[in-house]
């Protein structure tokens, strides 16, 4: 069921009918597709910030003469603050439903109803799904800790090998090139982690909504059965 929801979210992930081949694809390829799908959602938010940043900069520049904003004011920083605030403090419904699809929720609901055709079975399946959420949370916590340790190590190396005392210009330049490469690698890893987190959260919300929909379907079917003569 979880795999079905994940493949629905990825949309372009490869599917084959042979179990062992599908397991191999999930291990080698599908994880990359999941990260890519999460990156698409994350980039949508980043593009929203950039678009709002540009709009806010133009707006502030247009009203600047009327507000008597002094020359040299950090309009760029002010615009960025406005853009980030608009995205971060968006309507809760918009933030909660971003990336969700009614079609994907419906497909996940059909799988759930097929696996649990009664209310009692649905409750047991729902409790079992808590393991999925716990495992995702635990994995994200471990990766976050690893990234935090890596950032601390990079900061220490920067202070030691680039900003330290007693270093020649040649030593600083050589260390700065290496340090820059490690920093780029760190931000790539952080972006991949953020993309995976967004994807996992979207899959989890899809399953949660599918369970609600499945409960409604089963309750309606039970009511119909009770009304039958």
The predicted structure's pLDDT at residue 1: 53
pTM: 0.74
| Gap between the Cα atoms of 18 and 64, Å rounded | 65
Place of tokens 């393991």: 131
The predicted structure's pLDDT at residue 130: 77
Give me the tens of pLDDT residue by residue for the chain, a chain 229 residues long.
555 555 555 555 555 556 656 666 666 666 777 788 888 888 888 888 888 888 888 887 777 777 666 666 677 787 888 888 887 777 776 767 777 778 888 888 888 888 888 888 888 888 877 777 788 888 888 999 999 999 999 998 888 888 877 778 888 888 888 888 889 999 999 999 998 888 888 888 888 888 888 888 888 877 766 666 6
Distances 89 to 76, 93, 103, 137, 177 between C-alpha atoms, Å? 20, 11, 27, 24, 38
Name residues whose C-beta falls within 8 Å of residue 176's C-beta, 6 or more positions apart in sequence: 162
The predicted structure's pLDDT at residue 2: 59
Q: What's the DSSP call for residue 28? A: I
Helix (H, G, I), strand (E, B) or coil at 32: helix
| Gap between the Cα atoms of 160 and 181, Å rounded | 16
By C-alpha distance, which of 201, 186, 205, 191 is closest to 42? 191
**Three-state secondary structure along 93-111?**
HHHHHCCCCHHHHHHHHHH
Range of the domain at 54: 2-227
Q: What's the DSSP call for residue 27? A: I
Cβ proximity of 78 and 104 under 8 Å: no
Number of structural domains, the chain?
A: 1
The predicted structure's pLDDT at residue 27: 63
């Amino acid at each position: 069921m979880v795999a079905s929801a994940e493949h629905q979210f990825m949309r372009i992930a490869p599917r084959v009918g042979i179990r062992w081949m599908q397991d191999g694809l999930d291990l080698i390829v599908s994880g990359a597709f999941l990260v890519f799908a999460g990156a698409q959602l994350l980039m949508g938010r980043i593009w929203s910030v950039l678009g709002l940043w540009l709009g806010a900069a133009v707006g502030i520049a247009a009203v600047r003469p009327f507000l008597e904003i002094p020359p040299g004011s950090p309009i760029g920083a002010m615009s960025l603050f406005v853009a980030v605030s608009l995205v971060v403090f968006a309507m809760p419904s918009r933030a909660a439903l971003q990336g969700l699809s009614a079609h994907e929720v419906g497909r996940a609901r059909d799988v759930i109803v097929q696996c649990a055709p009664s209310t009692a079975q649905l409750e047991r399946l729902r409790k079992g799904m808590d393991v999925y959420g716990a495992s995702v949370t635990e994995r994200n916590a471990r990766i976050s800790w690893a990234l935090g340790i890596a950032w601390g190590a990079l900061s220490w190396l920067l202070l030691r090998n680039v900003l330290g005392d007693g270093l020649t210009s040649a030593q600083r330049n050589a260390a700065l090139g290496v340090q820059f490469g490690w920093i780029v690698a760190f931000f790539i890893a952080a972006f991949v982690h953020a993309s995976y987190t967004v994807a996992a959260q979207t899959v989890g919300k899809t399953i949660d909504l599918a369970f609600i929909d499945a409960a409604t379907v089963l309750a309606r079917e039970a009511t119909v059965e009770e009304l039958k003569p």
